[in-house]
Amino acid sequence: MSGPPKDSLAAPARPCVCFVAFTAITAGAGTEQFLVQVLRRAPRDRFELLLVETDYARFERWSTEYVDPLLVGVRRIRLSSSRRSVEPDRLLLLASRSRFLYLISAVGLLLARPGIFRAERRRNAAALGPIQNADLVYLIRNEDARWVLPQGSRALVVGSTHCDDLSGGLVSFPALRSSRLLRALFRARSRGRSGRIDSYHVTQPVFWERRLRRGRHDALIPLGVDTDLFTPGINGRESGPTRFLFVGSLDPMKGTDVLLEAWGQLDHAGMELHLAGTGPLRSQVEQRAARDSRIHYHGILPSVELAAVYRSCDVFLFPSRFETLGLVALEALSSGLYVVASDTVRGVFDEFERRGSLEYVPPTAEALRARIQALVERPPDRSSTARAARHARMVEAYDWSVVSRQLFAWFEALLSERADVPGR
């Protein structure tokens, strides 16, 4: 008696999930951390994994020797990117200080964008082939849907709020809300830049409430933190100078200029400012550190050394003018620090405000100076008990293993309900 056909005994093919980054993974910033942490914890027995990265990185925090072992089993494709010479969002951010320049920049980039997309597709035509077989494509930058997806691709396309809060820019730039023309422009930009996206991964509750672009199967899944690495340590810091910490890109978008201005207005001896990162304002930071013995600049640190700096500090300063990720704030909370965040990100970390672990302040030098002064005179609870409590909440709800599990469970639901997704 003959058995079943040989093909029927084969295990069913695993669906292929393709993550598309707009940078080199070795950049090691927020989006790259998300990709590495999620992929290293992915259920590889249920999914084939493909990572598309580019050659673009303003700077590199990670070495290939660090990254490669974490991504064993993940197929990787490297594309050439024009973003080495064109950074549209950063240009728009700087121009936003003038409504006229902002309008001119936005219109110019909208007109240039189709040509940029066509050039990207031509430059990478050969390398884009493997994406054709993906069952689900996850985008770090939603606008990349217009050029990275092969013609005729039937993949489900998932956008995200890593680089786009889905508000069309109106939430991020409150000063522009009064202009009806700019409101219409950014509504069009929000709808037009995303191409054919089926669903969105929304990372923050505030983005969920204010988004203009919506898919039928959107999911609110927060970002995470490596709670094994970012820990409070054994002992608290209940005495000594109050140590403030800033981690991130040293540029105006992250509020580094506001922080330096605020610090310059303080002459209290019982405080220290520690900074880690690099960027356009690095030389200013180095010059200030050379003149002020209270300022300690650490440069770019490997993950283990960075975690040690977090543990050695008391208050994390997060004066960012615009933020969609805020992973550094999660790292600080996991390390047991109290956080002072710009109120431009109000709604992102409200849970921690309610728990007394975080407060919002206006992103001005005067407001930040006042809060630093107050926290020096009356420091937040720096005991090991308070730090452990902040860390415990991160382990419970924000560890990367929790995030990865939720994300891939959502992917499975999307693929199983494929027929219900619009346009499929």
Average pLDDT over residues 305-320: 95
Domain shared by 173 and 254, yes or no: no
Average pLDDT over residues 253-266: 93
Tokens of 289: 């550190």
Domain shared by 164 and 273, yes or no: no
Give residue-wise pLDDT tens across range 69-119: 999 999 999 988 765 445 544 554 554 455 566 566 666 766 766 676 777
Domain shared by 170 and 308, yes or no: no
Range of the domain at 391: 242-397
Domain shared by 46 and 86, yes or no: yes
- What's the number of domains the chain is made of? 2
Q: Is residue 173 part of a domain?
A: yes
Q: Starting from the edge strand earliest in sequence, which strands make up the sheet with 338-342, in order? A: 295-297, 271-276, 242-247, 315-318, 338-342, 358-361
Domain shared by 147 and 78, yes or no: yes
Domain shared by 362 and 252, yes or no: yes
Q: Average per-residue pLDDT in the chain?
A: 83
Domain shared by 180 and 321, yes or no: no
% of the chain with per-residue pLDDT over 70: 79
Supply the CATH number for residue 37's domain: 3.40.50.2000
Which residues of 309-419 form beta strands (DSSP E)? 315-318, 338-342, 358-361
Average pLDDT over residues 354-381: 93
Domain shared by 281 and 168, yes or no: no
Locate tokens 């999911």: which residue?
Answer: 219
DSSP state, residue 399: B
Give residue-wise pLDDT tens across range 173-191: 555 545 555 555 555 555 5
pTM: 0.81
How many Cβ atoms are within 10 Å of 38's Cβ, its own excluded? 21
Domain shared by 368 and 256, yes or no: yes
Using 50, 70 and 90 to split pLDDT, how confident is the model at 390? Answer: very high
Domain shared by 282 and 214, yes or no: no
